[in-house]
Structure 1
Amino acid sequence: MSFGDPNNPYGQQPPQGGQQPYGYPQQQPQGQPGYGYPQQAPQGVPPQQGYGYPQQPGGQYPPQQQMYGGTPPYAHWGTRVLATLVDSLVLLVAYIPAVIGAAIGDTVGAILSLIGFAVIIGVVIWMLMQEGKTGQTIGKKTMGIRLLRESDGQPLGVGMAFVRRLAHFLDGAACYIGYLWPLWDDKKQTFADKVCSTVVVKV
């Protein structure tokens, strides 16, 4: 009596069609990754970032200004006034040598006056350069605000900062109404800000 293949003591016949019996390792179909295998992105489609990956800034302002739905927090009128007062105080301190020189008179007084005026001009130029390069004067830095281009949220440059200073003439032309315009303007801009396309934001 024969019980089949002596190498197959259980007498089981191999399944037809090339299928493996239960318990044998299954072969993975070609072209299809198995469960747990890294998924390949289709050709021409960039891989998507998973949860937890850093996202690219969606707005036009720097990452530190992506607040309130992408809109920068505009500086309040009172904060801007205080920043201007701080800048004016700095210029007043720089003006002291000129005042002392004018009070003394004579040659020494004239020298002190010249030194005082030179210091004032130097401080004005330095503050203008700082505002153009960083968006902050001493007063703005003290109050935590910054002057930026409305288009891309970057400092406007020394040249445009100078043009904006000249454009402040428009703010004072009509009974200084331009300086008060940020009180009710949506972007809290003065006339000079609107002409030069600038905004003052919190940092």
Structure 2
Amino acid sequence: MSFGDPNNPYGQQPQGGQQPGQQPGYGYPQQPGQQPGYGYPQQPGQPGAYPQAPGTVQANNGYISLHGLGTVQVASMGRRLGARLIDGVAITVVYYILAAIGLAGVVGAGTTIDDCTSETYGTAAYQSCVDDQAAALGGVFAAFFGVIFLLFIATMLYEWLMIAFVGATLGKMALGLKVVKENTGGKPGLGGGFIRWIIPMVGSLVCGIGALLVYLSPFFDSTGKTQGWHDRAAGTVVIKK
């Protein structure tokens, strides 16, 4: 005698093993529009890759991704030191030329003071001659140090403004290097150029050792960007054009 469903006089189970009240498609049904498969979704337009942030090092192999520039090569320390050497030689030559001119004027003024003798000019004339020559000597010294100061200003403006508006000094141009902002890929601007210049200059006040350490500091950078302390402060990176 069957005690099954009174509406099913043959006592048969529903086809497909479905129990009464059971929802159809028992198991792990697919949602409408759901795609089969597993894994992480791809970014639109970039199959198999994700977008990289500005300043991303390419596997620490000497390349870096910069906004607006794409993947560029980081400048090697050999080229950077070579560019610094070219700039240093050019500036030093100008210093020596001006120093030689000033020194020649000082020596010439000192020699003319020795020509002022009491036997030649007499007491009153001798004193007047000495005063005149001393004033001339003081003027030469003032002019000498004035030229040095102007040369310092010119050097500052050369390094500062060339980096700010061009992205390179003559030495960097000669070796195919360029200084750019790490977050934009553009020129450093007045602020960035000044920071890159002032930090080595402050270091040079300690017998020049501080400036030398700043210029060698890219050797201590373990990020693969070869950034010096002045680069980090200014937010810049030196690349090969």
* TM-score, reference length from structure 1: 0.57
| Larger helix fraction of residues | 2
SS of residue in 2 equivalent to 1:153 = coil
Take 1:120 and 1:175, find their aligned partners in 2: how far apart are those partners? 18
Aligned to 1:87: 87
Residue of 163, 166, 191 corresponding to 2:198: 166
Q: How does 1:137-148 map to 2 (within 5 A)?
A: 137-148=169-180
Q: Percent identity?
A: 26
CA RMSD of aligned residues (A): 3.1
> Structure 1: any 5+ residue segments left out of the alignment?
1-57, 63-69
SS of residue in 2 equivalent to 1:199 = strand
Residue of 189, 201, 214 corresponding to 1:157: 189
Return the index of the structure with the highest Cα Rg.
Answer: 2
**Residues 58-96 of structure 1: CA deviation (Å, up to 9, x unaligned):** 96133xxxxxxx321010001000111111112112212
* TM-score, reference length from structure 2: 0.49
Aligned to 1:73: 73
- Residue 184 of structure 1 and its aligned partner are, at CA, apart by 5.7
Residue of 194, 199, 202 corresponding to 2:237: 199
Structure 1 runs of 4+ with >6 Å offset: none
Q: Is the 8 A contact 2:217 2:229 kept in 1?
A: no
**Residues 130-182 of structure 1: CA deviation (Å, up to 9, x unaligned):** 11111111111111101110001111112221112233457965982772434
> Structure 2: any 5+ residue segments left out of the alignment?
1-64, 110-135
Aligned to 2:99: 98
Q: Is the 8 A contact 1:128 1:137 kept in 2?
A: no
Q: How does 1:1-203 map to 2 (within 5 A)?
A: 60-62=67-69, 70-95=70-95, 96-105=97-106, 106=109, 107=136, 109-110=140-141, 111=143, 114-168=146-200, 176=213, 179-182=216-219, 185=222, 186-203=224-241
Take 1:182 and 1:61, find their aligned partners in 2: how far apart are those partners? 27
Number of equivalences: 139
